[in-house]
Amino acid sequence: MPRHLLPTTVVGSYPQPEWLVDRAMLSKSVPRTRMHEMWRLPQEHLEEAQDDATIVAIRDMERAGIDIVTDGEIRRESYSNRFATALDGIDIDKPAIIVSRAGHETPVPRVVGKIRRTRPVELRDMEFLRRNTDHAAKITLPGPFTMSQQARNEFYEDDEELAMAFAEAVNAEALDLQQAGADVIQLDEPWVRNNPELAKRYAVKAINRALQGITVPTVVHLCFGYAAVVPGSTKPAGYSFLAELADTSAEQISIEAAQPRLDLGILKDLSSKKIMLGVLDLGDPQIETAETVADRIRQGLKYVAPERLIPAPDCGMKYMPRDVAFGKLKAMCTAAATVRREIS
């Protein structure tokens, strides 16, 4: 793990190349069920192609200067669907359909039996990442509360029981990832702010069960949605479920701050945690200058001590053009180095 102040990292995903995925198809949704048709290569060549694209993502992060890298989530169709649909108890052949208030239909996993993890899902991903970088390495998992909100429950007594079943599965996976060399393990829990009243009942309990026995640094990430899907103008200036995360066993809380112009005063509620602060606006197609990003880091330092601040993008970079993603990461790393010199 990096020892210097303001270590840089990413939230998780990095742009998948056009030769690997149909990006036009991908841009239309954040799939909850599998979307095999988005992959451009036949099954017999897909794993090798994903490996190659993963190496490209790792090298881009290293070249940009990122201290704690990921595998770019290159093998995933979304941040959650690959893990969620690999569990026993999910009917992957007959998904449920939910209809949003706007009338949009979304297929979601249907829970028809006991949720069980019968095999590793991301273990090879972590092993591959560990073999291909000497940087600190982070891997991400969908959080149990979020997965419970993205599924149709047709088996468990209530959503809390479902979330705790997902938590048990996530924990088994996280323990394997730790054994495989993960330096940081992150849970993505964006749905705690979508349904804060329900989250207040049991989200912290589920998160803590998912992280039970993990001894490497852990992160809980929450955001307002991918910039490509949710415009900044529709994002609130504060989180409806944030202070509650102080009660999680996670060492770090990752938040989106640049695009929604977040009031950073709310960080006072998380004085016991390290903060992964989003300082890259992924809704802006322009690459920020290093000075712009440095100012965002300086704003964060008004509320968070330097040893607790970790600069990062707002959210995953999956939907961005690769050259823009790389440029933004490079600007962030330059900015972090500038501010680091100022406070050393």
Which runs of consecutive H residues, i.e. helices, occur in the chain? 23-26, 43-64, 81-84, 123-131, 144-149, 159-179, 196-210, 290-301, 322-343
The pLDDT value given to residue 234: 63
Tell me the Ramachandran region of residue 27: left when phi exceeds 0, alpha when psi lies from -120 to 50, beta otherwise: alpha
Structural element, H or E, at residue 278:
strand 274-280
Reply yes or no on whether the pLDDT at 312 is more than 70. yes
> Is-contact 227 324, C-beta < 8 A?
no
Give the model's confidence band at 260: pLDDT under 50 very low, under 70 low, under 90 confident, else very high.
confident
The pLDDT value given to residue 271: 92
Reply yes or no on whether the pLDDT at 140 is more than 60. yes
Tens digit of each residue's pLDDT (9 = 90 or more) over 185-201: 999 999 998 889 999 99
Q: 255 is written with which tokens?
A: 């938040």
- Residue 182, classified by CB atoms within 10 Å of its CB into exposed (0-12), middle (13-18) or buried (19+), is buried
Q: What is the mean pLDDT of residues 158-167?
A: 97
Question: What's phi and psi for 146, nearest 5 deg?
Answer: -60, -45
Q: What is the value of pTM for the model shown?
A: 0.95
The pLDDT value given to residue 48: 98
The pLDDT value given to residue 142: 98
Give the model's confidence band at 269: pLDDT under 50 very low, under 70 low, under 90 confident, else very high.
confident
The pLDDT value given to residue 298: 98
| CA atoms of 161 and 155, how far apart (whole Å) | 10
Q: What is the mean pLDDT of residues 9-31?
A: 93
| CA atoms of 275 and 267, how far apart (whole Å) | 8
The pLDDT value given to residue 286: 96
Tens digit of each residue's pLDDT (9 = 90 or more) over 66-121: 999 999 999 999 999 999 999 999 998 999 998 766 677 889 999 999 999 999 99
Question: What's phi and psi for 45, nearest 5 deg?
Answer: -110, -5
Tens digit of each residue's pLDDT (9 = 90 or more) over 205-259: 999 999 999 999 999 999 876 655 566 556 666 788 899 999 999 999 999 999 8
Q: What is the mean pLDDT of residues 159-185?
A: 98
The alpha carbons of the chain give a radius of gyration, in whole angstroms, of 19
The pLDDT value given to residue 237: 62
- Residue 307, classified by CB atoms within 10 Å of its CB into exposed (0-12), middle (13-18) or buried (19+), is exposed
Q: What is the mean pLDDT of residues 48-70?
A: 98
Reply yes or no on whether the pLDDT at 27 is more than 90. no
Q: What is the mean pLDDT of residues 19-28?
A: 91
Question: Residue written as tokens 């649909």?
Answer: 85
| CA atoms of 72 and 61, how far apart (whole Å) | 9
**Any residues with CB less than 8 A from the CB of 157 and at least 6 apart, and which?**
none
Written as one letter, the residue type at 105 is E
Cβ–Cβ contacts within 10 Å for residue 271, how many? Answer: 12
Give the model's confidence band at 313: pLDDT under 50 very low, under 70 low, under 90 confident, else very high.
very high
Reply yes or no on whether the pLDDT at 204 is more than 80. yes
**Which of 7-21, 26-40, 291-305 is the least confident region?**
26-40
Average pLDDT over all residues of the chain:
94
